[in-house]
Amino acid sequence: MAFDAFQKRKERQLLRLLLPALIPLAVLVIYPALYSVYLSMTNEALTGLAAAKPRFVGVGNYLRLFSDARFWNSLFVTFVFVVGSAIIGQFVIGFIAALALKRKIVGSSVFGAAILLPNAAPEVVAGFMWISMLAGGDHATLSKIMIALGLPWADWLQTFPLFMVTMVNTWRGIGTAMILLTAGLSAVPTEVYEAARMDGANPRQMFMRITLPLMAPTIFLYMLISTVSTISVFGLVYALTRGGPGGKTEVISVYIYNQSFTNFQLGYGAAGAVVALVVSLALGIAYVRSLKVEV
């Protein structure tokens, strides 16, 4: 049929338009992802004997990885970092800001812009600015503030490194959480609140019984996305602490980087990378499924 032939020709044309996107993604993302699985089964290294003649070592790297306390530590650090900043910190503060901005507030756009500004800061700038807030013992800005308030100060990045790194990442993501949750809040019909007010519901009841349940899908989606994107945070942590002191802030991406580019053990680093890839992919699949994407 002529129509079929036309349709086929059209699809071929469209595929050709997609090729410039398909090729770089295949060569620079898909292939490296598969290649890292292979690499993780070799003893490839940047220096030494293994660099000249990499050998196939099977699951050796994984056995070593799973008995490496530093690897488990990095998983634990990543878990605290993600839960603390993406799930709790950004979400709670972002939600509070979104709720506050729902009221008639003079200068709400100024507040909104201020809260969004950290979002615009590149990771390295964010790390650098927070060095001023936290590093240098009694010289740090936070210490000066604490002293002025008559409170005890500390060498923040040495004494509470993971908490501080988590707080800085929280700082960076409050804005996105606020924007998303504001969109979710404005989707809740006002009639529902009015009806509840007629029935004599207090604000707390309205929040627990109306706002939260109706927002649940938005919140779930937000948490999935922010979890996945927080797992891949690198520059912020690297600029602030480079994983230290003593691995206390070595999130998985910094761990992989240190193994591969500081210790030069490419094969071993790749095994860590594969674990990170599998975890992210699993979360990504959950995300895609829950989106019920219309394609």
Within residues 84-103, the interface with another protein by CB under 8 A covers 93, 96-97, 99-101, 103
Piece in contact with another protein (CB under 8 A), picked from 59-67, 158-166, 206-214, 271-279:
271-279
20 touches another protein by CB under 8 A: yes
Within residues 37-56, the interface with another protein by CB under 8 A covers 39
Contact mark string toward another protein, 212..251, x via CB under 8 A: ---------x---x--xx-xx-xx--xx------------
* SS3 call for 42: strand
For residue 81, give Cα distances in angstroms to 16, 137, 184, 241. 43, 23, 25, 14
Within residues 150-189, the interface with another protein by CB under 8 A covers 171, 174-176, 179-180, 183
Contact with another protein (CB under 8 A) among 24, 189, 213, 245: 24
Minimum CB distance to another protein smaller for 162 or for 227: 227
Minimum CB distance to another protein smaller for 80 or for 116: 116
What is the residue-wise DSSP string for 82-144? IIIIIIIIIHHHHHHHHHHHHS--TTHHHHHHHHHHHHHS-HHHHHHHHHHHHSSGGGSHHHH
Cα–Cα distance between 80 and 74 in angstroms, integer? Answer: 10
Neighbouring residues of 126: CB distance < 8 A, sequence distance ≥ 6: 118, 168, 171, 172, 236, 239
User: Smallest distance, Å, CB 204 to another protein?
Assistant: 11
Cα-Cα end-to-end distance for the chain: 27
Minimum CB distance to another protein smaller for 144 or for 209: 144
DSSP 75: H
Q: 77: closest CA among 254, 269, 239? A: 254
Piece in contact with another protein (CB under 8 A), picked from 61-69, 79-87, 205-213, 276-284:
276-284
User: Smallest distance, Å, CB 192 to another protein?
Assistant: 15
User: Smallest distance, Å, CB 205 to another protein?
Assistant: 14
Within residues 114-153, the interface with another protein by CB under 8 A covers 114-126, 128-133, 135-136, 139-141, 143-144
Contact with another protein (CB under 8 A) among 2, 69, 104, 148: 104
Angle (deg, nearest 10), helices 266-291 and 212-231: 160
